[in-house]
Amino acid sequence: MFKEFKEFALKGNLVDLAVGFILGGAFGTIVTSLVNDIMMPPLGMLMGGADFSDLFISLNGQAYASLAAASEAGAPVIAYGRFINALISFTIMAFALFFVVKGMNTLKKKEAAAPPPAPPRQEVLLEEIRNLLAKNQ
């Protein structure tokens, strides 16, 4: 049973998936930082100083100074500002992955377009002999 597990765990696809998963998580934190720390502050400033991560709707009808205050009070809220941040993060990540996949597909097309290697000299000679014998019969 251990041998079967070892064969399964060490298959190339599983290892590639694990590496991709780890890199994806690391890439996700970079994109999150890009959105929250670099893109959203100027965008919020252009929209009158709005901080998207702090935008929310209180469902109990009471007003709260911030999302943190509403959460601390245990109020039910719809944190649509965080959702906007998540949408922007997703869009950036989708574009980045699109360009990665597009680049990989371009490389694959170049590999597929490469002419096949010439057959060995022995095979060429054997084909010529076969063709001559077929012609003489």
Residue-wise DSSP of 41-70: HHHHHHTTS--GGG--EETTS---SSHHHH
Total domain count for the chain? 2
pLDDT tens-digit readout, 24-74: 888 888 888 887 788 778 877 887 766 677 888 999 988 998 888 998 999
The pTM of the full predicted model, rounded to 2 decimals, is 0.55
Instruction: Tell me: do 38 and 58 sit in the same domain.
Output: no
Instruction: Tell me: do 57 and 6 sit in the same domain.
Output: no
User: Rounded to an integer, what distance in angstroms lies between the CA atom of residue 126 and that of residue 135?
Assistant: 14
User: Rounded to an integer, what distance in angstroms lies between the CA atom of residue 42 and that of residue 50?
Assistant: 10
Instruction: Tell me: do 76 and 121 sit in the same domain.
Output: yes
pLDDT tens-digit readout, 97-108: 788 788 888 887
Mean pLDDT of the chain: 82
Instruction: Tell me: do 26 and 70 sit in the same domain.
Output: no
Instruction: Tell me: do 114 and 72 sit in the same domain.
Output: yes
Instruction: Tell me: do 30 and 62 sit in the same domain.
Output: no
Instruction: Tell me: do 55 and 95 sit in the same domain.
Output: yes
Instruction: Tell me: do 68 and 41 sit in the same domain.
Output: no
Q: What residues make up the domain containing 119?
A: 51-136
pLDDT tens-digit readout, 108-124: 777 777 777 888 999 98
Instruction: Tell me: do 42 and 9 sit in the same domain.
Output: yes
Instruction: Tell me: do 6 and 38 sit in the same domain.
Output: yes
What is the phi/psi pair of residue 76, to 5°? -75, 130
